[in-house]
Amino acid sequence: MDHQAQNVIDTPSNNTVFMVWNFHENVVIKDVFQRLCALVVNLNNSAQVRSNLVKASVVLGISHHAWKKLELNEPMPKELVPFEPIIGQKHIAVATPGDLHFHIRAYEKSYCIDMATEIAALLSPVADCKEEVHGFRYWDGRSILGFVDGTENPLGEDRAFFGIVGDEDAGYKGGSYLFVQKYIHDMNAWRSLPVAEQEKVIGRSKANDIEMGDDEKPTNSHSALANVGDDLKIVRDNMPFGQIATNEMGTYFIAYASTFSTVQLMLKRMFIGEPEGNYDRILDFSTAHTGSLFFCPTINMLKEFAG
């Protein structure tokens, strides 16, 4: 079987459109889904032919609910389950419904808009778009909070090792677990913190992205809790987004992983704390408004689904 992954381990691009769609109740979706899978393959092929320079691509993720509704391959991927909220003493990693997720990216925003338009035209008769977030590259890959995002990302061959399913689930080798959250930041509260205090929240220097030593890094800093070890990594492709006038700025957290359990461990450390109650301090400034788990089949599986 062809185990060619979708473009899940590409490095972040300049522009992104994230979309989450939910199917209507009591509608026939099989035919539309078949055409959708063919469209995703077509859009990726067309982007490569039109220009390699823009690095345009779209990645399709399918939730547990949608997998069942569409009657796709059984047994399904081992760790594709309905995401359950993770409830800490103060903060909650909420769970929100989503049948399909699209991660559209390109150096040129026009490609993102064109691809999103084609997907929306096909899905609109049978589904509602619950989230549409337009992300952008901020300076040298920083979040809107001003710190470099994704420093712990695996590099080189490690990206495939940590981001793509291997022999542990042979039927879905080449696929990837996709977890997303839309965070809204309290920018007024964040900006009121002196830089030195912001650095303690993150666990790194703001200007140069240098990690604090263990003797000075707070145990509730983001880097202390979100990093679950060199043997357990994920591929992040986070992007900032927002509206300046309304001060609704945020980060779209997106993780590709060979196992969802790695993401789940990270979330538990952040929201419940390690030890319990010692939660990630960044959550005092960033609130998760969504949380959904999907699986990204291989290119070959998408072609099979297309019929």
- Confirm if 179 and 86 have CB atoms less than 8 A apart: no
- The token duo for 3 is 């185990």
Angle at 70 between CA 69 and CA 74, to 5 degrees: 95
**From 99, 114, 149, 237, the catalytic residue:** 149
Sequence-separated (6 or more) residues with CB below 8 Å from residue 194:
none
Provide the strand spans (E) within the chain: 15-23, 57-62, 86-87, 92-93, 100-106, 127-136, 176-185, 235-236, 239-243, 248-257, 286-288, 292-296
- The token duo for 211 is 């990690």
Dist. CA 20–CA 81, nearest whole Å = 17
Taking only Cα atoms into account, the Rg of the chain, rounded to an integer number of angstroms, comes to 19
Mark whether 149 is an active-site residue.
yes
Q: Which residues form the catalytic set? A: 149
